[in-house]
Structure 1
C-alpha cells in the first residue's frame, strides 16, 4: 500500500482577476476551491491513475471537513488525525502574474503527534510512505526525521518531497525518491547552475548520499532522472500552461504509482513526466485520460552514465 502524509493541508482558494489593482476593489473573473497540500495532491493523482492509497496527516475544523468530503467523493481512503484548530486556507491569485498567499499552519498538540505516529506504525515491508510539503511551525524541528525513522523501523520505504535540512537529513535513510527542482538543489549545495551539465554532479551527490532515485525538475526545460544505472532527460511537452500548483506532486504520484508495480525507474519517470505535465496544462489536477494522452508523447533519453 502507498500512504501519503500531509502535515499542513489547506484549502486552495484560486482566484482569477483581470487587471489587478492593488489598493482598489477588484472583481474576480472566476474562482475555485480545491483541497490542497502536497501529499493530498499525490493521493488524488494516484487514485486517478488507479493506484490505491491511504491519505494521512492533520485536519481540523470546517476547512478540514471540506477536504475530507472532497476526498470521499473521489473514493480516496483516508485516516487523518483530527485536530482542534482549523486547517489553513491558501490563496492562489492569478492575474498578470501568479501570486500566492499561504495561510499559517494550525497548532498541533502532543496528542495529535502521537495519533499520527500510531497510524504510521502500522506500515510494513512493501509499503511506501510519501512525505510531502512543509510542516506547521508548531511541530518540533526535525519532525520529518522522526517519521522517517518510524517508517524505516517498520521496514517500509519512503519518498520525501521537501526542501532544506529536512531533505538533506533524510538522504542517509535511502528514500526511494527525492524531487527537488533545480533551484532547490542549487540552494541545498550552496551553488548555482548555468546549464544541465552543471546539475549532473549534484544530482549524483543525492544518490551517493543515499537516495535510490532522484528527479530534478527544471520547469520549461523538462526534468532529469538520476538512478544507479544512469542519468536520463525527458523531452518538454507542449501545451498552454494553466496551472503550476500541484504539477510537482503529480510528477511524484505518476512516478511512485508506476514504480510500486515493477521498480522500473525509467518507465516510472515517463509516468511522472506525463502526470506532472498534464496537471500543468489543466485548471485542477490532471484527469486520467489526459495523462494517458500525454504518456504517448513522453520521450526519455539517457544522457550520462
Structure 2
C-alpha cells in the first residue's frame, strides 16, 4: 500500500479573471474548487492511474470536512486526523495574465495530535511506500520529516520525499527511496545556477552520494533526469503540449513514477511514466487522467 502524508491539506479555489486589476472589483470567468496539497495530489493521480493509496494528514473545521468528503467522492482512501481547533486552509489560485497564489495558514497541530500520526505510521508494513510531500506547518517541529524517517528506520518502508531546501537535504542520511527536486530547488540547495543537464546530473550525483537512493529532477519544459540506484542516468525532453496549469505537475510526476515502478519494476519505464503523468497534469486544468497519460507516453516511446 502507498500512504501519502499531507500535513496541511487545502481546498484549492481556482479562479480565472480575464484582466485582473488591483484595487478594483474583479469578476471571475471560470471557477474550480478541489482538495489540494502535495500528498493529496499524489493520491488523486494514483487513483486516476488505477493504484490505491491512503491519504494521511490533518484536517479541521468545515473545510476539512469538505476535503475528506470530496476525496472519498473521487474514490480515494483517507485516514485523516481531525484537529480540535482552527480550519483547514483555502488556497486561492488566481489565473489572469499572470498566475498568483494566496495560500492559507491552516490549523495549529498539537503534540498530542502529532502523536496520533505516529500511531498510524506504526501500522505500515515492510514494502509499503510512504510519500512525504510539501511544507511543514509552523506549529510542527521543523524536523518532522527527519523524525518520521528515523522512527521508521527499522522498517523496510520505501519513503519518497518531495520537499525543498533543508527539509530535503536533512533527510538524505536516512536514505529515501526517491527524492524529486526540480532544477530551481537544485539551485537553492547548491547555491549555484543550473545551466545545463550536465549540471543537473552532477548535482543529482551529489545528492545520491549524500544518501538518496533514486534522484528524479524535473525541469518543466526541458523534461527530466533520473539517476537510479544502480548509477544509470535516464533523461528525456517533455512531450509536446500547451501548459494550462503548473499546479500539481511535480506531484503527478511522483505518482506516475511510482505507478510505473510498481507495475513494471523497471526504472526506465517508471521514469517515462513519471514524465508523461507530470506533463498530462500540466496540459490539463485538472490532474492527469489515465487516458491522457497513455496518449503522452506514445511521444516518449
Do they superpose with TM above 0.5? yes
Q: Provide the C-alpha distance between the structure 2 equivalents of 1:191 and 1:150, rounded to a whole number of angstroms.
A: 33
- Deviation, 1:235, is 2.1
CA positional deviation for 1:291: 1.0
**Partner residue, 1:95:** 96
Name the residue aligned to 1:302. none
Is the CA contact 1:129–1:151 (under 8 Å) kept in the aligned structure 2? Answer: no
Shift of 1:254: 0.5
Partner of 1:282: 284
Is 2:56–2:78's contact at 8 Å kept on the other side of the alignment?
A: yes
Aligned counterparts of 2:68 and 2:106: Cα–Cα separation in 1? 18
Paired residue for 1:136? 137
**Equivalent residues in 2 for 1:201-212 (5 A)?**
201-212=202-213
Deviation at 1:262, TM superposition (A): 4.3
SS at the partner of 1:191? coil
- Residues 171-204 of structure 1 deviation map (CA, whole Å, 9 limit, x = unaligned): 1111111011111011111211222222221111
TM-score, normalised relative to structure 1: 0.95
Asked whether the equivalents of residues 179 and 214 of structure 1 are also in contact (C-alpha less than 8 Å), the reply is yes
- TM-score of the aligned structures, taking structure 2 as reference length: 0.97
Query: How far apart, CA to CA, are the structure 2 residues paired with 1:291 and 1:72?
Result: 23
C-alpha offsets along residues 64-91 of structure 1, whole Å, 9 cap, x if unaligned? 1111111111221111111122100111
How well do the aligned residues superpose, as a CA RMSD in angstroms? Answer: 1.1
Moved beyond 3 Å, runs of 4+: none
Given that 2:253 and 2:278 are in contact with CA atoms closer than 8 Å, whether structure 1 keeps it comes out as yes
Mapping for residues 14-163 of structure 1, pairs under 5 Å: 14-84=14-84, 85-163=86-164
Instruction: Give the Cα separation in 1 of the matches to 2:265 and 2:215.
Output: 14
Distance in structure 2 (CA, Å) of the matches to 1:150 and 1:266: 31
Residue number in structure 2 paired with 1:3: 3
Deviates more, 1:210-219 or 1:253-262: 253-262
Are 1:164 and 2:165 counterparts?
yes
Paired positions, count: 299
Structure 1 residues without counterparts, runs of 5 or longer: 300-305
